[in-house]
Amino acid sequence: MELDVRQTVDWMVKANEKVQEQKDYLSQLDRAIGDGDHGINMARGFQEIANTLPNEEFEEVSDVLKKTATIVMSKVGGASGPLYGTAFLKMSMESKGSNVDGETFEKMVGAAVEGLKQRGKAKEGEKTMIDVWSPVLDVLKEVSEINGEKIREAAHTAMEATKDMVATKGRAAYLKERSKDHLDPGSVSSYYLFEALAETLEK
């Protein structure tokens, strides 16, 4: 099973639907341990993605992800814009010239995780979106195909696990111990992204 151009566009359009539905919730999560704009940031960027991608012609999956990265970088803003932008750009670069089968997708997410770590100067356990992306990479290493349901499950468990973490990166780090008992907003939006992928692959 390979991810093709049309599915990649559908994936991003579906991700936008989720972000729009959960816009207020994402901002509410960010109000608790940040500055309350994560839903607004994501909704602005992903709306532009959904408006743009379906009206363009793409040669390969890499090109869809490159366009996505460009829009995210210019429209999302905050800390999450450059971070998501890096993740999509790394996935684009890693898939250039390839069909996206399970092996390639694992490499793409691997490159995204490396990019997020570099860009965010962060690692696992610091209560950031890396805490969802990295467990998704782990599950991709275990399976040979792009298994949407396994990805969704892993992302969901990982997103919930950020609740018990103390933030040491991003705005939430200012709260120290008080950042505990709250979900990390960027991990929740990352979960929506992988949930959207799972739903796209179901079809």
Residue 35 lies near ligand ADP (rule: CB under 6 A): yes
Under the binding rule (CB under 6 A), the answer on residue 160 touching ligand ADP is: no
One character per residue 40-59, x = contact with ligand ADP (rule: CB under 6 A): -x------------------
**Least spacing, CB of residue 149 vs ligand ADP, in Å:** 24
Cα 119 to Cα 55, 77, 136, 180, 192: the distances in Å are 31, 14, 19, 24, 22
DSSP 100: B
Stretch that binds Mg ion, among 23-31, 44-52, 84-92, 155-163 (CB under 5 A): 23-31
Residues 6+ apart with CB under 8 A from 83: 116, 119, 120, 129, 186
Q: For residue 79, what are its two tokens?
A: 């800390």
**Residue number with CB closer to ligand ADP (10 or 81):** 81
* Per CB under 5 A, 30 contacts Mg ion: yes
According to DSSP, the residues that pair with 3 across neighbouring strands are: 100
Region from 54-62, 65-73, 77-85, 191-199 binding Mg ion, contact rule CB under 5 A: 77-85
Largest CA distance in the chain: 48
Q: Which residue has the tokens 């743009």?
A: 52
Residues 169-188 that bind ligand ADP (CB under 6 A): 169-171, 184-187
Distance CA 9, CA 30 (A): 28
Contact range with Mg ion by CB under 5 A, out of 34-42, 119-127, 135-143, 144-152: 34-42
**Partner touching 39 among ligand ADP, Mg ion, none, CB below 5 to 8 Å by kind:** none
The one segment of 13-21, 52-60, 62-70, 123-131 that binds ligand ADP by CB under 6 A:
123-131
Q: Does 87 bind ligand ADP (CB under 6 A)?
A: no
- The sign of the CA dihedral 22, 27, 28, 34 is positive
Nearer to ligand ADP, 38 or 152 (CB): 38
- φ/ψ region of 173 (left if φ > 0, alpha if ψ in -120 to 50, else beta) reads alpha
Q: Which two tokens stand for residue 184?
A: 């990390």
Q: What are the residues binding ligand ADP (CB under 6 A)? A: 30, 34-35, 37-38, 41, 78-80, 83, 116, 120-122, 128-130, 169-171, 184-187
